[in-house]
Amino acid sequence: MKYNKKDVNILVLNCGSSSLKYKIIRMPQEETLVQGEAERVGTKTQGVSVITHCFGDKKRTVEIPLPDHAAALKKALEMIGEDVKKNKDVRFDIFAHRYVHPGNFFTKTTKINKYVLEKLKETFPLAAIHNPISYQLIDFCRREYASTAQILVFDTMFHKTIPPEFSTYALPRDIIKKYGLKKVGFHGISHRYVMEESCRFLRRKKSTQKIISCHLGTGGASVCAINCGKSINNSMGFTPLEGLMMNTRCGNIDPGVVFYIMFQENFSPEDTENMLNKKSGVLGVFNSSSDLREVINNIDGDKRAEMTFDMYVRRVRMYIGFYALILKKADILVFTDSLGVEEPVLREHICRGMEFLGMKLDGTVNARYQSGESDISSPDSQTRILVIPTNEELMIARESYKEFMKNDTDC
């Protein structure tokens, strides 16, 4: 089945650890027809689960229990179905999925068929929070929309340029070779987007810029060092567990602590993985919520909230300092995703005292920021500090469109 290039509507599904973003994007015009986001999906928070859905100039917010991502997708498709009844042009022709970890099986954007489905099952342990969830949604789409093609865009592709000295683990060579162990990095779709948008915003060529990108989400978070348009390091590693402290993930930890807990608690590997991925991070320290926004709301008078916030900030600052060193000073520092865009107090604390790295925030501009792309750096800052809302869905649509138009949809 072939489609006219002016008539391909792509339903992009961007599955986060505690969220589901979706958009119907008409390609190649890059026109967003419908968009929405389910938040607080399947996690312990003080707030209620909610879906925000936008169609045209109308915005709906629905509070609804969302025990898992399948429930979120079903509700989103129901709302999209209501839109289609009002305007048939809103229908979607293909699904496009962000898939976190392809393992060693896939190296480029891929159409889904039976072989791909089987191989995806083997990637579950590599991103224990994301991959099983994404597969669940892929399988749901396959069963409910059997004739609709599906395409995968992988979150690791942008980081293929990380050099060996940063991607290699100090482990026995035979073990590394046997299992393909190396830092692969994540949030590549987002880091690539904000890198390109930052350069467009400042009217600079990406081939000349040194950029530190901070993707700070309510679920996952990572920092990326980008040199002349290429990723050279990412705070995440072989799995998304490495790096920053996240909503339920511990981030960097002494491996000896893991072994000690396993022996003392008689934990199985599954118990241990569950603890590190789903019971640690912000949730583990703050306890009453995994959402850093709720931590920020409770900082005054709550010592546990204050400590959680300080721990989070220090870890982000550590990577900014490291990446400024390997880049030999950054031209651009960019904040993106939910926390990076919505929380001025977080940006202020992260940038505090960074003048020696050439990074100086304008506190007034930062505090007044509301939306869109903005330069929040002081006029005398050597490094431009930007807020750039990410648009992973658009990047996914671009990649999926190129792959879809190569051949007939025979998946």
Would you call 89 a catalytic residue per the annotation?
no
Q: What is the 3-state secondary structure (H, E, C) of the chain?
A: CCCCCCCEEEEEEEECCCEEEEEEEEECCCEEEEEEEEECCCCCCCCCCEEEEEECCEEEEEECCCCCHHHHHHHHHHHHHHHHHHCHHHCCCEEEEEECCCCCCCCCCEECCHHHHHHHHCCHHHHCCCHHHHHHHHHHHHHHCCCCEEEEEECCHHHHHCCHHHHCCCCCHHHHHHHCCCCCCCCHHHHHHHHHHHHHHHCCCHHHCEEEEEEECCCCEEEEEEECCEEEEECCCCCCCCCCCCCCCCCCCCHHHHHHHHHHHCCCHHHHHHHHHHCCHHHHHHCCCCCHHHHHHCCCCCHHHHHHHHHHHHHHHHHHHHHHHHHCCCCEEEEEHHHHHHCHHHHHHHHCCCHHHCCCECHHHHHHCCCCCEECECCCCCCEEEECCCCHHHHHHHHHHHHHCCCCCCC
83, 155, 337, 362: the catalytic one is: 155
Catalytic residues: 155
